[in-house]
Chain A
Amino acid sequence: MAADVLLELRGIQKRYGAVQVLHGVDLDVPAGKVTALVGDNGAGKSTLIKCVSGIVTIDGGSMHWEGRQVAVHSPKDASALGIETVYQDLALCDNLDIVQNMYLGRELTNYRMLDETAMERQAAETLEGLSVTTIASVRQRVAALSGGQRQSVAVAKAVMWNSKLVILDEPTAALGVQQTRQVLGLVKRLADRGLAVLMVSHNLVDVFEVAHRIAVLRLGRLAAVDDASNLDSQSVVELMTTGQAQGEVGRGQPTRGSGDGTPTQSQVVEESS
């Protein structure tokens, strides 16, 4: 089971000035699974993913990538490891088309000129590989796309660089029912392809639809982490708000691997359901 763990966070600390946002978070992100990161506003979800994606640097603790300790100081470091992040605002240029956005900053060139045909072909193949069928032409400007299509483009952009971990920040926040379903289907396919997915979401319905594992953050500490099958909405809400789910929960203790939920955790489910 440890072999499957792609990213291990140990005692991650982060402070902004006088405010300590993360108080030593431990979290394992396994490959081939969707790990949902939930928590109330201010719980530190965004800060945690910013630490992993290199937007901010951690103040304490350690990150292990495929068993090796690594230091991530910039988004470039994260990309080099194979960590790609899709932010809530998607970071797409409306005035550029899909191909241009997917290759932004990493354009293919041929004799120092942009190799448009190669980029167009590979972008179309990536979208096809992810079964994104709602996009008619990859030469459409992003301005003309729907919210779900934009999200799909942003995700496709993240996975086309041999990335191993894709971090999604509220991927369904701005979407309607139909488009949410499309995007969640895409998230599942990422995990099916063996990628690790770390998804931040407020929407517990979405979380339970796609997540294999759920990690609950509260006030900068990990309140619990368990297989989704061992949790339900009510217990997650209680963990988010009080840090415990009626009974005693393994607070701050990451549960490693799948299917070996400790008795206390299965107890939580029984008591809360």
Chain B
Amino acid sequence: MTSVDEQRPEQEDPESTGTEDSAVPESAVRPDVTSGEYVRGYLDRLRAGDTGLLPVVVGMILIAIVFQVASHGDFLTPGNLVGLLQQGAFYMTLAMAAVFVLLLGEVDLSLGYVAGVGGVVTAVFVSDQGWVWPAACLAGLVATTLIGLLQGAIIAFLGVPSFVVTLAGFLGWNGVILLILGNGATIPIQNNVIFNFDNGLLSPLVGWIVYVAFAVVYVGAELFKIRTRRAKSLAQQPAAITIGRVVVVLLAGLVVILICNANRGRSLPIRGMPWVVLIVLGVLLAATWLTTRTRFGRYIYAVGGNAEAARRAGINLAGVRIAVFGLAGLVAGIGGLLYISRLASMSTAYDGGTYVLYAIAAAVIGGTSLFGGRGKLIHGVLGGLVIAGIDNGMGLLSMSAAQKYVVTALVLLVAVSLDAVARRGRQGHGIDA
């Protein structure tokens, strides 16, 4: 029956012309987008190379499945997953710093050792000089921010490529760390608060309170957005899509809190969400707010997308560039604090070279373009999670560092190739359409 219909649609389907008419609505009122149109628009964007979060989410699911099977069920356990969050927080934070710079279309190879400078400065002040922890942390963050501003100023004012300036930083700040630490030395961190940044746990009840507060604020923000858009009679996103997004975010949060609050102790019960989850979430929300809700954030994207257009629009290019390198330094400094917190020490074993490459890889794996102007802070977090997941999963399988490097390299190569192919799709789309 159906096959007959399909063979002769023009003759037997009198409504075919009707659908063509309705496909071109010409109304003065801006209509709300329907779910179908939204999905079609999303597919169009995918085809045009605007992939968004899709690749990294698919990648995370694949990694979870592969390691879960290969480790005979050890990967997706509460104990391992919470540990993964604690290990990964450093990469996620460093990757967010990398995203800032990549948005400009620049690169910062020094981020790893800059984070190390933040760590060592804080360690020296809190352990050797006996400063209170907030002052010591502030000193570390000020140091990394100033380093970022300095490198940014050289890049913006002298026109030296960021690759070269930050390559000098890569070498130089490594040297500075070694000079401060002395030969083969280790500075232990005895301060409880700093130790707890990465290792401290919220009680399960506090975890739930945080989750509910987050959910209320998030849903409230979505409702407020719908209300203002309706008041100004602007086109709304389809309700199904909005509700779907809210449900996915709330469910993701719920899964995290359930995993964190499950007992993961072997002999004694251990439960609760690590502080570091809130720290990373806080950095993510603040940085996302800055990049999407402020003029400065808009200018970062504009400079990364078309610096000449930004200049003609009256945007201070040098100012934006310097500020972004400073911000990247600040966020890297936070990463450095998480590093010394997790290891409860700072030593000459700090390998900032590998860390920065992991961080840039994480940002790109997460979906941030190497070519500037495209990316989000969440890309750094999700990409950092992928990197940490590979590291963690291969550790579970007792694989060597050499094997880890090879696998991470392959994942990075796939991610960068995806970006390059997608970029070609975008360009072809922009010119042909």
List residues of chain A with CB under 8 Å of any chain B CB. 75-76, 79, 87, 89-96, 100, 104-107, 109, 112-114, 117-118, 120-121, 124, 133, 137, 141, 143-146
A113 in contact with B306 (CB, 8 Å): no
B234 in contact with A93 (CB, 8 Å): no
Q: Which residue of A is nearest B432, CB measured? A: A146
B306 in contact with A118 (CB, 8 Å): no
A104 in contact with B310 (CB, 8 Å): yes
* Cα separation A107 to B292 with both chains bound (whole Å): 12
Q: Which of B295, B304, B309 has most A Cβ within 10 Å? A: B309
* Interface size class, chain B: 35 or more
B69 an interface residue at 8 Å Cβ cutoff? no
Interchain residue pairs with CB less than 8 A apart (17): A75-B312, A91-B308, A91-B313, A92-B309, A93-B309, A93-B310, A94-B426, A96-B302, A100-B301, A105-B313, A106-B314, A107-B298, A109-B295, A113-B294, A114-B295, A121-B234, A145-B430
Chain B 287-305 per-residue mask, 1 if CB under 8 angstroms from chain A, else 0: 0000001110010011011
B314 in contact with A76 (CB, 8 Å): yes
CB A119 to nearest CB in B, in angstroms, measures 10
B293 in contact with A113 (CB, 8 Å): yes
List residues of chain B with CB under 8 Å of any chain A CB. 26, 30, 33, 44-45, 48, 50, 228-229, 232-235, 293-295, 298, 301-302, 304-306, 308-310, 312-315, 373-374, 426, 429-430, 433
* Cα separation A23 to B314 with both chains bound (whole Å): 30
User: Top 5 closest A-B pairs, CB basis?
Assistant: A105-B313, A95-B305, A95-B373, A93-B305, A91-B309
CB A105 to nearest CB in B, in angstroms, measures 3
- Which residues on the A side are within 8 Å of B229 (C-beta)? 117
Q: Which residue of A is nearest B302, CB measured? A: A93
A117 in contact with B304 (CB, 8 Å): no
A114 in contact with B305 (CB, 8 Å): no
Within the complex, which residue of B235, B298, B314, B430 is in contact with A137, where a contact is CB–CB below 8 Å? B235
B433 in contact with A93 (CB, 8 Å): no
* Cα separation A117 to B225 with both chains bound (whole Å): 9
CB A49 to nearest CB in B, in angstroms, measures 14
- Which residues on the A side are within 8 Å of B48 (C-beta)? 143-144
- Given A95-B305, A121-B234, A137-B235, decide whether A114 and B433 contact each other with a Cβ distance below 8 A: no
* Cα separation A31 to B314 with both chains bound (whole Å): 26
* Cα separation A82 to B121 with both chains bound (whole Å): 53
- Which residues on the B side are within 8 Å of A104 (C-beta)? 298, 302, 309-310, 313, 315
* Cα separation A146 to B232 with both chains bound (whole Å): 28
Q: Which residue of B is nearest A118, CB measured? A: B232
Q: Which residue of A is nearest B103, CB measured? A: A95
B426 in contact with A120 (CB, 8 Å): no
Within the complex, which residue of B30, B234, B304 is in contact with A95, where a contact is CB–CB below 8 Å? B304
- Which residues on the B side are within 8 Å of A124 (C-beta)? 30, 234
B294 in contact with A117 (CB, 8 Å): no
- Which residues on the B side are within 8 Å of A137 (C-beta)? 33, 235
* Cα separation A137 to B48 with both chains bound (whole Å): 17
- Which residues on the A side are within 8 Å of B433 (C-beta)? 144-146
- Which residues on the B side are within 8 Å of A95 (C-beta)? 301, 304-306, 373-374
* Cα separation A114 to B234 with both chains bound (whole Å): 16
User: Beyond the given A93-B310, A143-B430, could you list 17 further A-B residue pairs with CB under 8 A, ordered by the A residue number?
Assistant: A76-B314, A79-B314, A91-B313, A93-B301, A93-B305, A94-B430, A95-B301, A95-B305, A104-B310, A106-B313, A109-B295, A114-B293, A121-B232, A121-B233, A143-B48, A144-B48, A144-B430
- Which residues on the B side are within 8 Å of A93 (C-beta)? 301-302, 305-306, 309-310, 373
- Which residues on the A side are within 8 Å of B298 (C-beta)? 96, 100, 104, 107, 114
* Cα separation A94 to B298 with both chains bound (whole Å): 13
- Which residues on the B side are within 8 Å of A114 (C-beta)? 293-295, 298
- Which residues on the A side are within 8 Å of B30 (C-beta)? 124
Within the complex, which residue of A75, A89, A107, A143 is in contact with B426, where a contact is CB–CB below 8 Å? A143
* Cα separation A113 to B429 with both chains bound (whole Å): 32
- Which residues on the A side are within 8 Å of B314 (C-beta)? 75-76, 79, 105-106
* Cα separation A231 to B58 with both chains bound (whole Å): 65
- Which residues on the B side are within 8 Å of A120 (C-beta)? 232, 234
* Cα separation A93 to B313 with both chains bound (whole Å): 11
A91 in contact with B312 (CB, 8 Å): yes
